[in-house]
Structure 1
Amino acid sequence: MQSGIAWVMAVLRSTLKAVRFWRPVVSRSLFRLSLDRWTVRSPSMSAYVIFQGDVTDEALYEEYKQLASSTVAAHGGSYIVRGGPWISLEGAEPASRTVVIRFDSIEAARTWYDSPQYEAARPIRQAASVGALYIVEA
C-alpha cells in the first residue's frame, strides 16, 4: 500500500514538473495562434455596407427606408447604425446621414445590393439623397 501511494506521488510530481516546463511554450504558441487568427484574412469575414450622405427629400427617403429595410432582413443583414447623432472629432464635418449595415460576407452584401428587391429601392435612395455607398470588409 505504501509503495502505491509513493508511486502516485512520484507521477504527480513529474506531471507538475512537465506542466511547469511546457506552460510558457504552450502559452506563447496559443498567443501566436490567436494573433494569426486576426491577421489572416478569411473568406467568411463580415462585411459592412456604409452609406454617408445628405438627405435632400425626407418624404422620399422615408419611402426608401421602408423598402430597403425589408430587403436587408431578407438577405440576412442587420442595421448597426441608422442615421443616429454623431460627434465630429477630427477633419471636416461628416455628411448628415450615416447608415451601416452588417452582412456575413462581401458576397452576401453584393447579393443584397444586386438583388431585384433592392434594385427597386435604389433609384429612390438616389433621388432622395446625395452621398456615397460602399462595402468594407472587417
Structure 2
Amino acid sequence: MPKGYLIGHITVNDPDAYAEYVERDTPILAKHGGRFIVRGGQSQTCEGETLKRHVVIEFPSYAAAQDAYNDPEYQAVADIRRRTADSVIILVEGT
C-alpha cells in the first residue's frame, strides 16, 4: 500500500506563538502513524517562489494522512498555525 505524506510550506510570522503549535501537533500526528521526515532546517529554493519553512510527515497510507489532517483535535491545533504563520498544506500519496 502506498504511503501518504503531509507536506507543509510555512512562513512563521510569530515564532513564540508558533512554538505552541509545534509542541502540540506532534503527538496528534504520531497517533495516526505520522513520522516527521523534514521539519524545518536549511533549504534552497532552486526554482519558483516558496515559503521559508518546509515540513514532510510520512504516514502509513494516504488515508492515514487524510485522517490525521481531518482529526478535530489536529484542526483545533492547526488554528494556532493559521493565526501565526502563512502556510500551504498538501496531502500526497507516495510510492
TM over 0.5: yes
TM-score (norm 1): 0.64
Letter in 1 for 2:66: R
What is the match of residue 38 of structure 1? none
Residues in 1 aligned to 2:87 and 2:76: alpha-carbon distance in whole angstroms: 18
Percent of paired sites with the same residue: 35
Q: Is 1:47 equivalent to 2:47 in the alignment?
A: no
Q: Unaligned regions of 5+ residues in structure 1, if any?
A: 1-43
What is the match of residue 30 of structure 1? none
Per the TM alignment, residue 116 of structure 1 is displaced from its structure 2 partner at its CA by 2.4
Q: Is 1:70 equivalent to 2:51 in the alignment?
A: no
- Aligned partner of residue 87 in structure 1, secondary structure: coil
TM-score (norm 2): 0.91
What is the match of residue 128 of structure 1? 84
- Aligned partner of residue 99 in structure 1, secondary structure: strand
Greater relative contact order (Cα < 8 A, sep 6+): 2
Q: 1:118 aligns with which of 74, 85, 91?
A: 74
What is the match of residue 55 of structure 2? 99
Residues in 2 aligned to 1:109 and 1:119: alpha-carbon distance in whole angstroms: 13
Which structure has greater strand proportion?
A: 2
Which structure has greater helix proportion?
A: 1
Q: Unaligned regions of 5+ residues in structure 2, if any?
A: none
Say how many residue pairs are matched.
94
Per the TM alignment, residue 93 of structure 1 is displaced from its structure 2 partner at its CA by 4.5
Per the TM alignment, residue 106 of structure 1 is displaced from its structure 2 partner at its CA by 1.2
4+ residue runs of structure 1 moved beyond 6 angstroms? Answer: none
Residues in 1 aligned to 2:2 and 2:71: alpha-carbon distance in whole angstroms: 21
RMSD of the TM alignment (CA)? 1.2
Q: Which has the larger radius of gyration?
A: 1
